Structure 1
Amino acid sequence: MKHRSLRAAVLTLITALAALSGPATPAQASDPGLPRLNITDTYVTGISSGGFMASQLQVAYSGTFKGVGVFAAGPYYCGKGGIVEGLIACGTGLISTDPEGIEQIARRWSAEGKIDPVSNLSGTPVYTYHGTKDPLVRESVSDAGVRFYRDFGARTAYHNSDPAGHGWPTPNAPLPCGTTFYPFLINCGDDPQGEMLGHWLGSLKAPAATQSGTLSRHDQDRYVPGDWAQWYSMGSSGYLYTPHSCAAGAACKLVVALHGCLSDDKFVGSRFARESHLNEYADTNNLVILYPQTDISLLRGNPQGCWDWWGYTGSDYAQKSAPQMRTIVNEVHALGG
């Protein structure tokens, strides 16, 4: 109990310090739009709230996203439009996530055209990661996410054996495996990014020893419905990692990587974009990595900069009309995906 209280106090302090720093800095006039690249296929991954959002994006836009990687999160539409029920069902697992009900909703929305056809999910490569020491998302919640995809015929890979806390695991992360603490980058002595990319792509070259591509900022406002990202608790700028080969016109695949709560530009700057361990694979495998950004919003009841997995932007948050998902898809299309 003491550890939980300390962790809650620290997270509250981090949130308060970020809020005191004022609203997110708008994109500078010099921040460009996204470049047009030779993108062949698009994939999406994310951690925590970003993991829930990754599943939402892939299911809602299954015609666009050919594969998904879900880290420390649960099934599509887990929050069902309510933060209280969402935290209990999708975090503690004390009440069921209602897998059958979620699948029925997905089928109905598919028939109504509110999401892409669920038939697209058959054969989709899905990678899921969950740590045995994750205090925020129980294993049963992660299991429900795997079950959702399996029931629709997806090709799943499930890594659930590491004694990992709630964080993004990479071979070069600064924190021990079992840690749940800022900046939520943990090291469990293995390489989940390589596993995920290999599951998606099959043949995969080893990652570069050092990054040689370019990490750039771009104006995110222009891709948001209404041209004002902050209105939907999104950052005015996002990040893009582009290997030299992709910038020169080579055929490349796009990976959208979504940070978790307390991990957007307001809290960690470009750290997730620099240390995700995806860029090293991008350099050797012709991958472009897009890092969209949220922002804190007291108006939206989102002081920790989480992606919308429970409905703070509207009841359609898990459908194609959802503003955050439309923004990301607009960015994907701008890149050529």
Structure 2
Amino acid sequence: MRLRKVFLALAAATGLAAASLSISTAAVPPPQTGTLGGYDITGTYVSGLSSGGFLANQLHVAYSGVFQGAGIFSAGAYDCAQNNLNTALYACMDTFQPRRTPAELEQLTRTRAAAGSVDPPQNLSGDPVWLFHGTSDQTVDRAVNDDLATYYRDFGARVAYNNTSAAGHAWVSPIGPNSCGSTSSPYVNNCGAADPVKEMLTHLFGQVSPAASALSGKLVQFDQSRYAPGGNAAAISMGGEGFAYVPKACETGPCKLMVTLHGCYQYYGLVGNALMDKGYLNEYADTNNMIVLYPQATTMIGNPRGCWDWWGYQSVQYALKTGPQMAAVVNMVKAMSGDTPPPTTTTTPVPQCITASNYAHTTAGRAYVTLGQTYALGSNQALGLWNTFTTSTIRQTSPNYWVKC
């Protein structure tokens, strides 16, 4: 399935496969309401699938002084989408349109670093990066994932790239409920004896102990608005609740922190705890002194699939340190280390002007079309012909209300 189908329709369900009998399943415990208290964090890493993989890369690049490595299932290079939905759909997942080369995106990164909007890319040199792309994955084109490998290697990262698995577009785990080649909810696949999670963690950490067969820790459910810029998680397409799995040993001793970001259609409000329960991270967390932080996206206008913002549906600053979702996740990371999160406030951010084709505005939910003409949502201001060639610049002044800039 190509990305345009993923964005425009739910993937058809495919057959399920039972988890390997040699793997012990350890169900994630029921969530306990709490806060992200301070822990002795010795290193911070990020991982993710699809839109979560794109955001994992954005976080690693923009905050390379915070994150020391990344594990990414099926995503492309930093800011491939260039704040354009069409580019995201047809160049950065499908490859029907030309996309920025890794060299061009590397130069973009250097330029932004010089302006202070992302951390210096020299920080990426020597960082462990683990990448995965399945041969049955028709959602993200292999060439796009290859660009991500090139991008990281050119900055000196230590890249390991698994591109031989028969997996579909999914997180792959020995206890995943779906068959290996599936691309269907909840997007956690089982490829038999393969254990990409162990492979990823081994590359990131150097070595790992075997996964636990029973979990000792707790699953903390916390209010994400506490960490969101503006104090409103829903306003930046993040769910009300986030989660953190904390092994018992991490309550009193040093631990690593792994931030794990779900893909589209995989957020808690849709699939529940599927990734937390079947992703096989908690089992390794228990035996390897690792806390797993599970931030949650949700839906909003322009983001009906609950994706993370990697093409600019919520903010034109999405790939910068000032990107609202990225800032929220980093606030969570800081809180885990004992830093006090910024006080919540209801201050409304200054509206950002968004320039895009009229077609892109309508598909993102910023405008609508009538008789071939495009109109701004809410204000009904005329924007011109509805096509991919006519562009207009608009901004949101209140929920579901857009005006010309």
**TM-score over 0.5 for the pair:** yes
For 1:83, the aligned partner's letter is: L
Alignment partners' CA distance in 1, 2:12 and 2:268: 17
Distance 2:182 2:280 in 1: 18
Q: Deviations over 1:131-184 (max 9, x none)?
A: 011111010000000000000010000000011110110011111111000111
Distance 2:172 2:115 in 1: 38
Residue among 63, 72, 76 paired with 2:74: 72
Q: Deviations over 1:296-328 (max 9, x none)?
A: 112xx0011000000112211101000000000
| Letter matched to residue 138 of structure 1 | D
Whether the aligned pair in 2 keeps the contact of 1:97 and 1:141 (CA below 8 Å) is no
Q: CA deviation at 1:45?
A: 0.2
**1:164 maps to which of 163, 167, 180:** 167
Give RMSD over aligned pairs. Answer: 1.9
Shift of 1:192: 0.8
Residue matched to 1:317: 318
Q: 1:133 to 1:11 in 2, by over 3 A?
A: closer
Q: Deviations over 1:82-119 (max 9, x none)?
A: 11111111111223432221111001001111100000
> What is the CA-CA distance between 1:11 and the residue it aligns to?
4.5
- 1:41 aligned counterpart, secondary structure: strand
User: How many angstroms apart in 1 are the aligned matches of 2:131 and 2:291?
Assistant: 21
Letter in 1 for 2:47: T
- Matched residue, 1:44: 46
C-alpha displacement of 1:8:
5.9
Q: Of residues 207, 216, 224 in structure 1, which corresponds to 2:228?
A: 224
Would you say the 8 A contact 2:11–2:183 is kept in 1? no
Q: Which structure: greater strand fraction?
A: 2
Separation of aligned partners in 2, 1:185 and 1:335: 27
Letter in structure 1 aligned against 2:70 = V
Please give the secondary structure, in 1, of the residue aligned with 2:256: strand
Closer, same or farther: CA 265–148 of 1 in aligned 2, 3 Å: same
| Higher-RCO chain (CA-CA 8 Å, sequence separation at least 6) | 1
What code does the residue aligned with 1:109 have? Answer: R
Partner of 2:261: 258
Alpha-carbon deviation of 1:275? 1.6
Higher gyration radius (CA): 2
Aligned-partner residue type, residue 230 of structure 1 = A
Question: What is the one-letter code of the residue matched to 1:226?
Answer: G
CA distance in 1, matches of 2:257, 2:326: 16
The answer to whether the 8 A contact 1:261-1:304 is kept is yes
Q: Which residue of 1 aligns with 2:331?
A: 330
The match for 1:34 among 33, 36, 43 is 36
Task: Determine the C-alpha separation between the residues in 2 that align with 1:162 and 1:181.
Answer: 17
Determine the structure 2 residue equivalent to 1:86.
Answer: 88
Corresponding residue for residue 398 of structure 2:
none
Residues 239 and 270, structure 1, Cα contact 8 Å, conserved in 2: no
Out of 121, 138, 142, the residue aligned to residue 139 of structure 1 is 142
Q: Which residue of 2 aligns with 1:128?
A: 131
Cα displacement (A) at 1:7? 10
Counterpart amino acid of residue 34 in structure 1: L
Distance 2:195 2:225 in 1: 34
> Which residue does the alignment assign to 1:270?
273
Shift of 1:188: 1.3
Question: Comparing 30-39 with 316-325, which one deviates more in the overlay?
Answer: 30-39
Correspondence for 1:291 among 294, 299, 303: 294
8 Å CA contact 2:94, 2:141 repeated in 1: yes
In structure 2, do the counterparts of structure 1 residues 297 and 42 end up closer, same or farther at CA, with 3 Å as the change threshold? same
**AA in 2 matched with 1:111:** A
Moved more, 79-88 or 142-151: 79-88
| Aligned equivalents of 2:280, 2:152: Cα separation in 1 | 26
Instruction: Give the equivalent residue in structure 2 for 1:281.
Output: 284
The range that moved more, 107-116 or 4-13, is: 4-13
Number of residue pairs matched by the alignment: 316
Q: 1:106 to 1:9 in 2, by over 3 A?
A: closer
The residue number in structure 2 matching 1:17 is: none
Q: Which string of whole-angstrom CA distances, capped at 9 and with x for unpartnered residues, describes residues 37-92 of structure 1?
A: 11111000000000000000000000000000110111111111011111111111
| Aligned position for 1:16 | none
**Counterparts in 2 of 1:84-233, with a 5 A limit?**
84-98=86-100, 99-189=102-192, 190-233=194-237
Q: Among the aligned pairs, what percent are the same residue?
A: 47
Tell me the distance in 1 between the aligned counterparts of 2:124 and 2:8: 37
More helix by share: 1
Quote the offset at 1:36 in angstroms.
1.1
Q: CA distance change for structure 1 residues 6 and 61 in 2, over 3 Å: closer, same or farther? A: closer
Distance 1:8 1:314, change over 3 A: closer
Name the aligned partner's letter for residue 324 of structure 2. P
